[in-house]
Structure 1
């Protein structure tokens, strides 16, 4: 029992080390790696090399595959180019296995010490992530050593030998078992390293170890397929093509595995070297055979999985790419783009409101009410997307931007609710009661409405740019809107005092429209609070008369006054 617990602990430590390396590389160089993949997708050869390089750094073919499938979904790369990059990624996963197969266990204490002390002493985020990479490599080496030491007693265990016998006799079953473990762990690197360790300890015979390596490669192709299953068709094609290629490779090699064993042994007789070399040779052979055929394979998959004609769904996010979540700076940019798109939809609703109030257009009113459901869906998607980010991995600036996006989209969602549940309800009353505003009253409402639309544009600019002068201007608009509302209310009461029938019958509607538009403006001006408070220009929610140069206050989010 102690042996099994020790092996499980070693495997868990190995998986954690692989994850630390991947996270550190992604957070340090994620944007550069994505840019490299995008730029190198112009030809199959450069795509293959970039896939190899990026995955060699990330130590995750799944991560590279998800990045490139997100590009394919957006039409940024062709299916053939994406498949070439994935073939390179499969070869890239063999890099760390090759390095660690040379028995560098003595490096483990040094790497762990450098990683821990580097992380604790680092001030900059990138330095912390580089220390995380170093620590992850040290933990991987330590885990391999623990697995080898813990599995040594299994060589003498008759029970364990009896359990392995079916796998040794049924190589196809061994492939399927290894594929299942790889799919469950989401890391072919960790599984191949585990196989290497058990083979080194003499627990696995070479033929069985090589069969398990084939299974790990097959399982690595299944993992991204499951992750992209609900994605657009263009994103699903490259992983499916890779799975087809890997399956064909496994089925071709499995029957001649015993015949290949002596040739693999020529490159290194040590069990761990045989596992590492076979892993590399299999992926290289697949790449050399299918790289010239990526266009044909991609065309075949496209015929089997054609584009689906679906109605355009404005409520479906366009920019929220799950493949960027391990690179917070990129993920926050995606969320910002989606938030601005949400702002554009709210602007359409607000503009339509003015036309409905003037023309009593029942059809336009229903369209505007339906648009709020779409705005709600976008808000929910952005919120869920941002909650997938690991807050512990965000630096202060990224965390602040995350709060800004959530605050901005929440206020946009409230504006959509005001339009749907308040202004459209007022429009319904106006239509049913056949009420009309006076000419002067309608002109004032349209002017007030135009100011709110202009402030929405200004708020989106403030949110996107973070410009302090624009933020000052937006906050000043709050007082101007308040003064404009006061003046228009006084004008309305003067018309009632003059006995104008239209002003008297529409009085309640008129005042409610002004009130709701002012509420919308209050939500809009909240975009300025975070920026001005970060710049030290807010004092008790008001602009300071004079701002001292270099003044700075802690970042925070002020709650807008919606009174």
Structure 2
């Protein structure tokens, strides 16, 4: 029983190592790899080589498939070149299996040691993520050795032999097992390496290892389909075309296994090498067969695989009727209504921010950050809509309204950016480092949040109705909020001097949040300025006067200017 648990643990470590390498490479070089793939479609050979190279780094053809599918979905590349990239990706992952099967045991401790040092000391830097990749490589090599050690006693256990004999008595069953294991582990590379290791230790025969490899390739094609299932547009057609390649290879090598087996044995290679060379031959054969026929496969897939409709965004413009542009007053009303919807999304982000502070919900952070994209989309739509209104056709009143709408949309877009940054800081610092605000600090943030919501609603009301009394109240609220932020910054410093542990840990984050909330409130309250200025309730400047030499001198009382008329 202990031997079986050791084997399962080694297999799990192998799968985990491949996952760490894949995610680490994508975090460090993801944008670079995407750029390489997008620029490689000039000809078939460059597409093939880029797919091979990217997959050799990422160690996952499914990840490459997801990138290529996203390009096809966005119309950046056509389906034919994307399928050539996938042919290169399949060869790349096969070659990496051969490299990782070499005797690299001396590298494993070095990779793990230096990887841990870099990752822990520079976690949020590029060097730290490269350290994470090194840890994954070290774990893969270590896991392969552990699999060999754990599986050696199995070859001597009669009961285990009976189990493997019953599971591997049929080639089709072996292929099915390989496909299921690949989907379950989410890594064809891990299953191929595991099959080679089992063959090397005598747990299974070379022929059975080859059948598992065929299944792993089928499973890899299925994984690509699963990860691109909801890709909009033509994106999922890349994975379907790749699955056609894999299925064709499965049929060919199912019948070719018997003549290939003695051919590989004649070279005197080890059982593990034979299994891995078979894996390389499988993908190279597919690449040679389909290299010049990817466009034909693309046409076939396009004919039978329907395009997936792009998901409707949570927020899309509703009131920007282009037919109203000929009537400026109506068009301005439409733009104002759409601007109010931006305010609704801002309120939703504010509520989400407070909930994140209370619950440390990482998923909610991701959802709230996505709302900023909706804000940007509405802001862009309103801005472009306003620019289509003829300014010459606007009278003085409509001209002022045009400027008010434009200014408010700009301010709300800035607020969305500030909230996005606050949410990112909460995710990286508070949630990532498992910190908590003190009870007093949380209460202060909640009180400021409550005032923000009220001032947002009051500001939108002033924008909609132009009420002078509400505008004066809004300006008073701005001064009160500024005083509140100063007072709470002072009480926070008092808690620091009192050695409150939670306040010390979250000091920078806490002060940043209340300062950003003051900035947000200023954007909300700026709605009052056009109303107050039009009513003559604002001074032209907050400065009483200024001396030309740079020294400030107060004017006599009878020369102090009154309110602007």
* Fold match by TM threshold 0.5: yes
Q: Deviations over 1:214-261 (max 9, x none)?
A: 000110000010122222341111110111111111111112212111
Is residue 183 of structure 2 the alignment partner of residue 183 of structure 1? yes
Quote how far apart the aligned CAs of 1:17 are: 1.0
Structure 1 residue 316 corresponds to structure 2 residue 313: yes
Match of 2:16 in 1: 16
The CA distance in 1 between the partners of 2:236 and 2:472, in whole Å, is 45
Q: Distance in 2 between matches of 1:223 and 1:138?
A: 25
Q: 1:517 to 1:297 in 2, by over 3 A?
A: farther
Residue 104 in structure 1 maps to residue 57 in structure 2:
no
Q: CA deviation at 1:159?
A: 2.4
Q: Is the 8 A contact 1:27 1:129 kept in 2?
A: yes
> Where does residue 265 of structure 2 map in the other structure?
265
Q: Matched residues in 2 for 1:413 and 1:76: separation?
A: 21
Unaligned runs of 5+ in 2: 380-394, 420-454, 490-507, 526-565
1:33-72 equivalent positions in 2, closer than 5 A: 33-72=33-72
Question: Residue 200 of structure 1 contacts residue 270 of structure 1 at CA under 8 Å; is this kept in 2?
Answer: yes
Matched, 1:248 2:248: yes
Contact kept, 8 Å, 2:375 with 2:413, in 1: the verdict is no
Give matches, 1:195-234, under 5 Å: 195-234=195-234
How far off is 1:75 after superposition?
0.7
Contact 1:44 1:84 in 2 (8 A): yes
Task: State the SS of the aligned residue for 2:137.
Answer: helix
For 1:264 and 1:515, locate their aligned partners in 2 and report how far apart those are by CA, in whole Å. 86
Describe the SS at the equivalent of 1:105. coil
Q: 1:63-462, aligned counterparts within 5 Å?
A: 63-122=63-122, 125-307=125-307, 315-316=312-313, 345=317, 348=320, 405=369, 408=372, 447-448=400-401, 450-457=403-410, 460=413
Q: Secondary structure at the match of 2:204?
A: coil
User: What is the alpha-carbon distance in structure 2 between the residues aligned to residue 516 and residue 279 of structure 1?
Assistant: 73
CA 1:516–1:151 in structure 2 vs 1: closer, same or farther (change >3 Å)?
Answer: farther
Contact conserved, 1:28 with 1:126, CA < 8 A, in 2? yes
In the alignment, which residue of structure 1 is the partner of 2:512?
Answer: 556
Is the 2:13–2:139 Cα contact (8 Å) retained in structure 1?
yes
- Secondary structure of the 1:113 match is helix
Cα offset for 1:124? 6.7
SS of 1:169's equivalent in the other structure is coil
User: C-alpha separation between the residues in 2 aligned to 1:301 and 1:190?
Assistant: 29
Distance 1:306 1:459, change over 3 A: same
Structure 1 runs not aligned, ≥5 long: 318-341, 394-400, 416-441, 467-481, 490-508, 530-537, 543-552
1:127-186 Cα offsets, whole Å, 9 max, x none, are 111211111111111111111111112112222222222443310111011101101211
After superposition, give the CA deviation of every residue in 1:352-392 in whole Å (9 maximum; x if it has no partner): 89x89x55999x79x9689959x979x89xx9xxx9xxx99
- Report how far residue 28 of structure 1 moved: 1.7
Partner of 2:409: helix, strand, or coil?
helix
CA distance in 2, matches of 1:513, 1:266: 94
- Whole-angstrom distance in 2 between the partners of 1:295 and 1:413: 36
- TM-score normalised by L of structure 2: 0.65
Q: Is the CA contact 2:53–2:92 (under 8 Å) kept in the aligned structure 1? A: yes
What is the Cα deviation at residue 191 of structure 1? 0.8
Say how many residue pairs are matched.
429
Does structure 2 conserve the Cα–Cα contact (< 8 Å) formed by 1:83 and 1:242? yes
**Which one is further off, 238-247 or 227-236?**
227-236
d(CA) in 2 for partners of 1:410 and 1:245?
39
Distance in 1 (CA, whole Å) between partners of 2:119 and 2:281 is 37
Q: Distance in 2 between matches of 1:253 and 1:406?
A: 46
Which secondary structure does the structure 2 equivalent of 1:41 belong to? coil
Deviation at 1:90, TM superposition (A): 0.6
Relative to 1, partners in 2 of residues 1:12 and 1:360: Cα closer, same or farther, differing over 3 Å? closer
